Amino acid sequence: MSLKTLVKINHVSNLSDARYCAGMGVEMLGFEFNTASTHYVTPQKMKEISGWLSGVKIVAEINNLKPENFIETFEEIHFDYIQVQNILLKNIKDLNYPIIYKIEWNEENTFGKFDAYFNDFKNYVSYFLISSEIEKIKPEDLKEINLISEKYNVLLNFNLSGEDFNHILLETKIKGIAINGNTEIKLGYTNTDSIADILETIEEE
């Protein structure tokens, strides 16, 4: 199975989603390690889920947690990326992990503002995950995101349809997209329709 672009699934919390996404060619699976989050998974559960998988990158979504504290606590667990948010440059420069930096998008964001703040981060961040609950992207937002994607490695995490993502992939230079995972309805069962609708739409023809 081949997808048109890199795909990350956010806050994976069950084996059903993980195995389906891996089989569809998803490249990254994220696991939420902030205990305050409704999507929190224990390190043991993450290890159990990832043990069934092959060919996918594992992302530790620590977001607002202090990276140095997280790494010290979970130093024996393998991750391919650490996802952070609202972290100062000085706190990520010495981390020995590839970094995904999450940014919440709003109507006031522009390339100029983004570039002024994140230019110094560029060599220390593998991907910038631009996230929003927006269900329809405005032309002015698309223009700014395109400008950002020309200079930075962008993963886009908007609440869009597969067709919308197809359009954005043609109109911008983003490196990939991110899709939110689902919680289990009952043990061993989850509704993957929302993920499937997007992944099937962005399959290579």
CATH number at residue 118: 3.20.20.70
pLDDT tens digits, 2-28: 899 999 999 998 888 899 999 999 999
- How far apart, in whole angstroms, are the C-alpha atoms of residue 105 and residue 91? 22
Tell me the average pLDDT across 51-63: 91
- How far apart, in whole angstroms, are the C-alpha atoms of residue 65 and residue 106? 22
Give the model's confidence band at 186: pLDDT under 50 very low, under 70 low, under 90 confident, else very high.
very low
What is the reported pLDDT for 191? 56
Tell me the average pLDDT across 126-136: 94
Tell me if 91 is assigned to some domain: yes
Helical segments of 119-203, H only: 139-151, 162-171, 193-201
Tell me if 72 is assigned to some domain: yes
Tell me if 76 is assigned to some domain: yes
Give the model's confidence band at 205: pLDDT under 50 very low, under 70 low, under 90 confident, else very high.
confident
- How far apart, in whole angstroms, are the C-alpha atoms of residue 161 and residue 197? 8
Tell me if 1 is assigned to some domain: no
Range of the domain at 36: 6-201
Reading the block at residue 47, the tokens are 């290890």
Across the chain, what does the average pLDDT equal?
Answer: 89
SS3 (DSSP) at 3: strand
What is the reported pLDDT for 184? 59
SS3 (DSSP) at 179: strand
Tally of domains in the chain: 1
**Phi, psi of 65, deg, nearest 5:** -70, 155
At residue 55, does pLDDT exceed 50? yes
DSSP string for residues in 22-72? HHTT--EEEEE--TTSTTB--HHHHHHHHTT--S-EEEEEEETS-HHHHHH
- How far apart, in whole angstroms, are the C-alpha atoms of residue 87 and residue 10? 19
Tell me if 99 is assigned to some domain: yes
Q: Which of 94-98, 164-168, 196-200 has the lowest mean pLDDT?
A: 94-98
State the pTM of this model: 0.92
At residue 107, does pLDDT exceed 70? yes
